[in-house]
Amino acid sequence: MSARRPGDNPPGGVRALLARATGTRVGGERRAVLWLHFLLPPALGALVVAAAFASLPLAALLAMAALVMAAIHARTLMERLTQAEEAKTSLNAQLIQSQKLAAVGELSAGIAHEINNPIAIIAQETEWAGHLVGEVEKNSSADFTEIKDSLREIRAQVDRCKNITHKLLDFARKREPILQEVDVARLIDDMARLVDKEAAYKNVSLARNMQQDLPMLRTDSPLLRQVVLNLMTNALQAVDRGGVIEVAAEADQNEIRIRVSDNGPGIAPENMDKIFNPFFTTKPPGQGTGLGLSLCHNLVSGMGGRIRVDSQPGKGAAFTVHLPRIPTRGRK
């Protein structure tokens, strides 16, 4: 067991520290004991000092004033300790998530490379088989329709496997953003046009809601395009016929926010913590790889931003991408 360095947080966090210092648990049944530790010493001290130089009523008044000041100080201190502990818990969760994604990414890259070789051979042999069937068909009256249909299905499944392995490699690849000036409103409109046709086919409304005079953003345009398109496609798959999708963008002095929301079924509470995990999907088998949102998470993090999801079952979901106006990562 390694020795704890000076400045390290003690085992159990802030609450355990307070428990050892006060003999109670913060938020536990004996929480009042902690308040006594904060309030009694200053109140008694003020009472003793005042009694030495003033009458008893005045001493009591001064003690009450000290008690109120100590109570205010104690409440502020406890709120700060609670906020510090919550921030530490959040950072630990983010660190664990990043380490998990990195490990899965390395594993995914190895698997994808291993699978790509046999897939390429299957694709070549299928093309060759199709060519041979065509040659035989020219000199024969036999019906080769069933064989050609089978070869066509093999090619379709090979293409599907290629798509999956490419997504795995995209997920695992560490790409340094190339910074350039990006017109976010135009980028979103370009990506929405790619989705418009399928949205119209499903009778889904795709609304744009852009802040006027949205500033230019210095970021990686291809990566941001991929994120926005993935989120729009994900929303389109989530809604039923007649559904509504809204893409909005706004900016303040610090960041630009891109929000993709829908009125689909939403995300179950038990899935909220897993929604960005690689390979996690709620879609039926064969209809999703579970890598789209994980890839979005990685790309947004690589651009120095963050992505947040808000959802209630039955009331749709909203994904918000926060990107800093002053980039913190990337290369020119």
The pLDDT of residue 29 is: 42
Whether the predicted pLDDT of 5 surpasses 60: no
SS3 at position 312:
coil
Report how far residue 313's alpha carbon sits from residue 268's, in angstroms, rounded to the nearest whole number: 6
pTM of the full structure = 0.54
Most confident listed range (4-8, 23-27, 181-185): 181-185
Torsions phi, psi for 223 (to 5 deg): -65, -40
Other CB atoms within 10 Å distance of the CB of residue 182: 19
- What would the mean pLDDT of 20-45 be, rounded to a whole number? 52
Report how far residue 73's alpha carbon sits from residue 26's, in angstroms, rounded to the nearest whole number: 16
The pLDDT of residue 182 is: 92
Which one is predicted more confidently, 196 or 290? 196
**pLDDT classification of 258: cutoffs 50, 70, 90:** very high
- Report the greatest alpha carbon distance in the chain: 122
Residue with tokens 């704890």: 4
Assess contact for 179 and 327: CB atoms under 8 A.
yes
Which one is predicted more confidently, 89 or 316? 316
Average pLDDT over all residues of the chain: 76
Helical residues (DSSP H) of the chain, grouped into ranges = 13-22, 31-53, 56-138, 145-172, 184-201, 221-238, 292-302
Whether the predicted pLDDT of 56 surpasses 50: yes
Whether the predicted pLDDT of 54 surpasses 80: no
Report how far residue 275's alpha carbon sits from residue 309's, in angstroms, rounded to the nearest whole number: 9
| Residue 332 CA from chain centroid, whole number | 26
SS3 at position 208:
strand
Q: Could you tell me the sign of the dihedral formed by the alpha carbons of 285, 287, 293, 299, in that order?
A: positive
Report how far residue 328's alpha carbon sits from residue 300's, in angstroms, rounded to the nearest whole number: 12
Report how far residue 62's alpha carbon sits from residue 230's, in angstroms, rounded to the nearest whole number: 65
User: 276: Cβ–Cβ under 8 A, 6 or more apart, which residues?
Assistant: 97, 293, 294, 296, 297, 307, 309
- Residues making up the chain, counted from first to last: 332
What type of residue is 161? C
The pLDDT of residue 286 is: 57
**pLDDT classification of 87: cutoffs 50, 70, 90:** confident
Report CA-CA distances (Å) from 312 to 80, 89, 289, 317, 318: 30, 24, 23, 7, 10
pLDDT in tens, 122-137: 888 888 888 888 888 8
Laid out side by side, the sheet with 255-262 consists of: 205-210, 244-251, 255-262, 317-324, 306-311
Whether the predicted pLDDT of 321 surpasses 90: yes
**pLDDT classification of 290: cutoffs 50, 70, 90:** low
- DSSP annotation of 290 reads S
* Closest listed residue to residue 188, CA positions, set 256, 290, 252, 289: 256
Other CB atoms within 10 Å distance of the CB of residue 125: 12
pLDDT in tens, 198-231: 898 889 999 999 998 899 999 988 889 989 998 9
Torsions phi, psi for 246 (to 5 deg): -125, 135
The pLDDT of residue 6 is: 43
The pLDDT of residue 58 is: 67
Assess contact for 185 and 199: CB atoms under 8 A.
no
